[in-house]
Amino acid sequence: MNNKKIPIFINNRNRLEYLKALVDWLEQAGYKNIKVIDNDSSYQPLLKYYESFGHEVIKLKKNAGHLAIWDTGVYDTIDTPYYVYTDPDIVPVENCPSDVIEVFIKKLEQFPDIEKIGFGLKIDDLPAASGNSKKIIKWEKQFWEKKHSDFFYEGSIDTTFAVYRRAVKGGTFHYPAVKSGTRLRCLRSGEPYLARHMPWYRCNKEFTDEDRYYLEYTETLTHWTKEGYSIYWKLCQVVKWILKKSKRSRPKIFK
């Protein structure tokens, strides 16, 4: 198959800035088959963006969460040997070669026991002002310790950008397991095929209106996204708890 036409599914809810950055990179790299799985978003600038979006938007009628591709019927539409699934906030670094998906597929073909291959995440330029850099680096270092071959390393991948074999389903664990079960056999790429997890670069004092909206209208976050927005996320949860206890409607307090 033409690897530039491999289906790339981006799972999204109320995210615009990071989604645009990822889609722009993919388009410039020549990838044609981009599909956004939208989890009942309500952020108006995002919905406006969809109106002129040059690719398919699969609109779900609920927030299906980070396993949306497998929890809905989207996975059943795949008819290619490989597919890509990713969160919207994983963006390749500036010098990442445009043949990244082809390179991942070639490695999968070389090692039939590997089930999916994804980006290694850049950690040497995290802003100290975020307050979580040391914690993130300490955790991520484990994924750079066990070299597999060439510039690939053995390490688990959740729902960050990865190429999957058609028969493979799941984040860290084989679907439908979430927190336990058999781990998928994964590889992470090294230089120059790296990506940034964009929330790690957002300091608490730099929140945008989009960040505020996203945090106000989400019930759960992945662990590291939560770390990236630690202070504001905690504030949102306290306010939501107070409103629930008082049975009041949610005011627009995060503007």
DSSP state of 226: H
End position of a domain, from candidates 183, 200, 217? 200
pLDDT of res. 218: 76
Q: Are residues 191 and 214 in the same domain?
A: no
The count of domains in the chain is: 2
Q: Are residues 226 and 182 in the same domain?
A: no
Task: Give domain status of residue 104, yes or no.
Answer: yes
- Partners of 37 in beta bridges: 11, 58
What tokens does 21 get? 């950055």
- The bridge status of strand 120-121 relative to strand 8-12 is unpaired
pLDDT of res. 220: 62
Task: Give domain status of residue 20, yes or no.
Answer: yes
Contact 187, 148 (CB under 8 A): yes
Distance (Å, whole) CA 165 – CA 199: 28
Contact 212, 37 (CB under 8 A): no
Contact 185, 217 (CB under 8 A): no
10-residue averages of pLDDT along the chain (255 residues): 89 97 98 97 98 97 95 96 98 97 98 98 87 87 96 96 97 87 95 95 78 80 55 53 56 46
pLDDT of res. 20: 98
Q: Are residues 156 and 239 in the same domain?
A: no
pLDDT of res. 11: 98
Q: Are residues 238 and 142 in the same domain?
A: no
- Give buried/exposed letters for 57-96 (b at 16+ CB in 10 A, else e): bbebeebbebbbbbebebbeebeeebbbbbbbbbbbbeeb
pLDDT of res. 191: 97
pLDDT of res. 255: 42
Q: Are residues 147 and 232 in the same domain?
A: no
Task: Give domain status of residue 29, yes or no.
Answer: yes
Q: Are residues 168 and 72 in the same domain?
A: yes
Distance (Å, whole) CA 184 – CA 91: 23
Contact 165, 84 (CB under 8 A): no
Q: Are residues 118 and 212 in the same domain?
A: no
Q: What is the CATH number of the domain that holds 83?
A: 3.90.550
Q: Are residues 192 and 210 in the same domain?
A: no
Helix (H, G, I), strand (E, B) or coil at 108: helix
State the amino acid at position 88 in one-letter form.
P
Sheet harboring 186-189: ordered strands across? 56-60, 34-39, 8-12, 82-86, 162-165, 116-118, 186-189, 152-154, 147-149
Task: Give domain status of residue 87, yes or no.
Answer: yes
Contact 101, 25 (CB under 8 A): no
What tokens does 248 get? 């009041």
pLDDT of res. 59: 98
Task: Give domain status of residue 238, yes or no.
Answer: yes
Q: Are residues 179 and 89 in the same domain?
A: yes
Name the residue range of residue 238's domain: 204-246
